[in-house]
Structure 1
Amino acid sequence: MNRLSTPAATSFSTPWGTHDLTRFPEDPREQLRAWDAADEYLLRHLAGEGDSAQGAATDLDGRAVVVLGDRWGALTTALADHRPTGIGDSHLALRATAANLARRGAAPDAVRLLSTRDTPPGRIDVLLVRVPKSLALLEDQLHRLAPAMHPGTVVIGTGMVTEIHTSTLRLFERILGPTRTSLAVRKARLIFCAPDPALDPGPSPWPRSYALPGDIGPASGRTVTNHAGTFCAEHLDIGTRFLLGHLPTAAPGDRVVDLGCGNGVVGTAAALAAPGARLLFVDESHQAVASAEATFRANLGPDAPAEFRTADALSAEAVEPGSVDLVLNNPPFHSHQATTDATAWRMFTGARRALRPGGELWVVGNRHLGYHVKLRRLFGNCELVAGNPKFVVLRAVRR
């Protein structure tokens, strides 16, 4: 079957045509769509349809259009004829956008895709914002994009009602200018903001740093750097803390992966405990990988050997099979608003592929998630290393 016509794709009808969209990685069993009512609402407004538009379409022709935070490429794909620039933190979202553009038949140079760490465009005439889960990420990105805006820039945000709060609106207003919202339609809402060049929001407060507790092993008292949107950017999360208390010590020369590295605390602790180990930090968030690199360099120096990659778990693009001795993992169990074990499963299968025979995967997770069942099914073994009423640390060996 042609991968660009997988059963996972769903048809998304827009004023700019109907497009088959899918998430990434593509999975025929995927039940979640690559678009929602918030995407629909924004596109209908741009086309001059619906009550919020009051019959006036937004002129996109020849204008510098930027789409920030497109979840799976629905907005960018629909507007591909206007040659937008897409900016996102998620590697998976950017890959999905590229795949959906290819499925649509868009020219390779029709859309420019940037990460949140790339240099932003120098001019923005229309900014379309898919409101992210992280208010900190929104804050940082608005600061980064504000210099490219002018009084005539059209700024429209979109999200589900549960994703847009008073604090969200205050952020737009404080950094860009006067802000208002639309009525809710199918539990989605729009945000309208008029940039004010006279406004001085000051510098972005990101990245931020904090000192680790003094009782967590080799990383005790060390400094952690967090770029906006990184998980637990203000303090050490309790799952990671539990893993740090039971961290294995790698042998000199071992290749160790901090999988889903976040701010890199786990991998940095492993490197401090075993100076001869070779570290690889992997996350699907560009902000997280930048945080991990900053944390590692601050504690081990600018010349310490380590690799930093933005990728989908430990897929073939991230690391060659059979090349890893130890994988350390604290998997997430949320994807946007959905609770799911799909990410953990991809991490576990990718770890098994990457490990050499005898290599080990160490996982910390909430006790109730039952990761031991999945690990036994995948590896044929799973050992409980440590546990408390909330968390377990599990060890699986590649036979």
Structure 2
Amino acid sequence: MNDPMIVPQGTYHLTRFPADPRDRLRAWDAADAYLLRHLAATGVPERTGGVVVLGDRWGALTTALAPHHPVQITDSFLARQATLANLARAGVDPAAVRLLTTQDDPPDTVDVLLVRVPKSLALLEDQLHRLAPAVRRNTVVVGAGMVKEIHTSTLRTFERILGPTRTSLAEQKARLIHCTPDPDLDRGPNPWPYRYALPDGIGVLSGRRVTNHAGVFCADRLDIGTRFFLRHLPRPRAGRRVVDLGCGNGIVGTAAALAEPGADVLFVDESYQAVASARETYRENAGAGGRAEFLVGDGLADTAPASADLVLNNPPFHSHQATTDAPARRMFAQARRALRPGGELWVVGNRHLGHHITLRRLFGNSELVAGDPKFVVLKAVKK
């Protein structure tokens, strides 16, 4: 267990999800604590109702504010599960809070809007647009983030969509954002989701359209790692189970479905925005005769063992602001469990990350399929 979060609301022993005793990354940070101190000092929750917490990373804010029955809105399945675990650890009935995803309809009215600044400016833009109709002139709006997470563009986004915005002094490298709502503001239309045509030269997907909800990795363009992967994908066989693990906008799984319409494709990601994007991308391009399933979850943790023939994976190397290979290692282990004997895991990644070492440890083998100065495509076979 990492250091407890000690704030005016109480002392909380919090963990990330999935809980790992070897993980030294905390489930809260100075921005969470700063915001909670500010709320206690001003008495905001006590004199208002309708508290909405947007982007609570591991449930620290929702857990501490549970007596005020907050609504949590998150894009992360893992954050949602962490919130439930942390509420239970604090002895709080989960019915005391309302858990929504970024794809759900937001509340009709918001008295207090608390925003943990996300890594993605696009996700902030989208969610503020969605919440703006529920924000009134007297709504208290406070954002929080570490100094390195709050930029001029962050403040401009608040100002453009909700109203005049200023920042606090920094404390422990954290800062608050104070916004005064202006319901008469002409904020314009929400630009998300964003759709564009894929470039030529990437096989069956050339020229096809892709849908990206806000916050999805490289939502405004095809990233070069995925482009490289698409040029070297294996062709699945009819009747086989293919998994697009960490599917993002779903173009890798959609490419597999187009290459072999007889394949059964599972798209899975921990991001609700990503799975919504993958569903729309697949249906527009391959949905007429294919078979597909879409799952928001902790990777393949809840998938039956030995149920997949091919897993395709472009793993992340960040967990919120932290750079770590833990998500990739977990995905590889889940893939091994989910694969049938003889099944294959195909991975694309930056050459310097050394995924081949992890694959050899887990599978006993790793083959270089393709490489360039920046990326490699690796294959591991379950024996």
TM-score interval for Structure 1 and Structure 2 normalised by the shorter chain: over 0.9
Q: Which residue of 2 aligns with 1:169?
A: 155
Alignment of 1:348-387 (within 5 A): 348-387=332-371
TM-score (ref. length: structure 2): 0.98
Structure 1 residue matching 2:104: 3-state secondary structure: coil
Offset from partner CA, 1:250-277 (integer Å, 9 cap, x none): 0101110000100011000000000100
Percent same amino acid among aligned pairs? Answer: 71
Q: For the aligned residues, what is the CA RMSD?
A: 1.1
Amino acid at match of 2:296: T
Out of 335, 339, 342, the residue aligned to residue 323 of structure 2 is 339
Contact 2:261 2:289 survives alignment (8 Å):
no
Amino acid at match of 2:114: L
Structure 2 residue matching 1:10: 3-state secondary structure: coil
Structure 2 residue matching 1:109: 3-state secondary structure: helix
Alignment of 1:133-282 (within 5 A): 133-282=119-268
> How much does 1:305 deviate?
1.8
Q: Which residue of 2 aligns with 1:100?
A: 86
Offset from partner CA, 1:28-76 (integer Å, 9 cap, x none): 001111111100110111011xxxxxxx332435600000000111111
Amino acid at match of 1:162: K
Q: Which residue of 2 aligns with 1:25?
A: 18
Amino acid at match of 2:25: L
Q: Which residue of 2 aligns with 1:75?
A: 61
Structure 1 residue matching 2:62: 3-state secondary structure: helix
Offset from partner CA, 1:64-96 (integer Å, 9 cap, x none): 000000011111100011100000001111110
Equivalents in 2 of 1:96, 1:236: separation in Å? 31
Equivalents in 2 of 1:235, 1:379: separation in Å? 33
Q: Which residue of 2 aligns with 1:3?
A: none
Could you tell which deviates more after superposition, 56-65 or 355-364?
56-65
Contact 1:262 1:291 survives alignment (8 Å):
yes
Amino acid at match of 2:136: H
Equivalents in 2 of 1:77, 1:59: separation in Å? 14
Could you tell which deviates more after superposition, 33-42 or 296-305?
296-305
Q: Which residue of 2 aligns with 1:127?
A: 113
Amino acid at match of 2:29: D
Amino acid at match of 2:364: G
Offset from partner CA, 1:208-256 (integer Å, 9 cap, x none): 1111111111111111110000001111111111111111000101110
Structure 2 residue matching 1:230: 3-state secondary structure: coil
Contact 1:297 1:304 survives alignment (8 Å):
no
> How much does 1:123 deviate?
1.0
> How much does 1:303 deviate?
6.2
Regions of 4+ moved over 4 Å: none
Equivalents in 1 of 2:268, 2:250: separation in Å? 9
Equivalents in 1 of 2:82, 2:240: separation in Å? 34
Equivalents in 1 of 2:288, 2:192: separation in Å? 21
Contact 2:69 2:97 survives alignment (8 Å):
yes
> How much does 1:9 deviate?
4.6
TM-score (ref. length: structure 1): 0.94
